[in-house]
Amino acid sequence: MKLYLDMDDVVADWVAAAQQILNVDLSRGSPRLPDDVWAQLLNYPRFYLDLPLKAGARELVDHCQQLVRQGSVEGLFFLTALPRDHAARQWAAWDKVLWAQRLFPGIPVFFGPYSADKYMHCEPGDILIDDRSTNCADWRRAGGRAHVYRTWPQCQQWLERLIRSKI
């Protein structure tokens, strides 16, 4: 069983960066950014290169790496997505990989390529931690286990219960 972590709004604080750059309040009500706000982000082609860490990101990754070292999971991977707008994708993949290599060296970065495609990476029993409930639902339908990420403490409890149930 492999463990996949989403990047945006799980380990990288995408919303905080967008709010700061655009000076807007982005509520968590919708999984998609309004078109007018998305259009403004296109003015920042290297947006993904310097995203701040999400609160709890280091703890989450450290815990998952410990699960690999213990043999509880086969491997740890980032599973992210390209932006929906072609103009925003020019640097996105490259910058996401550079970001991950700089902050979490050694963890491979895989792409959906789009968010709705993530489930195609799932093999039965694989684990996904993602902030989008639709991605988690698709993952479960593909035979995996998934957690909708909100905070590290909630995720930690879920992971510990899951790993204990597998032993």
Average predicted confidence (pLDDT) for the chain:
92
pLDDT tens-digit profile of 37-88? 778 888 888 999 999 999 999 999 999 999 999 999 999 999 999 987 766 6
Domain boundaries, the chain: 2-166
Model confidence at 30: pLDDT above 80: no
Task: Give me the residue label for tokens 């920042």.
Answer: 44
Count Cα neighbours of 16 within 13 Å in the Cβ-side half-sphere: 12
The whole-number pLDDT of residue 87 equals 62
- Which CATH class name applies to 2-166? alpha beta
The whole-number pLDDT of residue 129 equals 98
Helix (H, G, I), strand (E, B) or coil at 143: coil
Shortest CA distance to 68 belongs to which of 153, 163, 161?
163
The whole-number pLDDT of residue 22 equals 85
Using the CB atoms, write b or e for 21-51: b if 16+ within 10 Å: ebeeeeeeeeeebeeeebebbeeeeebbeeb
pLDDT tens-digit profile of 71-81? 999 999 999 99
The arithmetic mean of pLDDT across residues 101-122, rounded, is 97
Helix (H, G, I), strand (E, B) or coil at 159: helix
Instruction: State the Cα torsion 124-128-132-134 to the nearest 10°.
Output: 0
The whole-number pLDDT of residue 68 equals 98
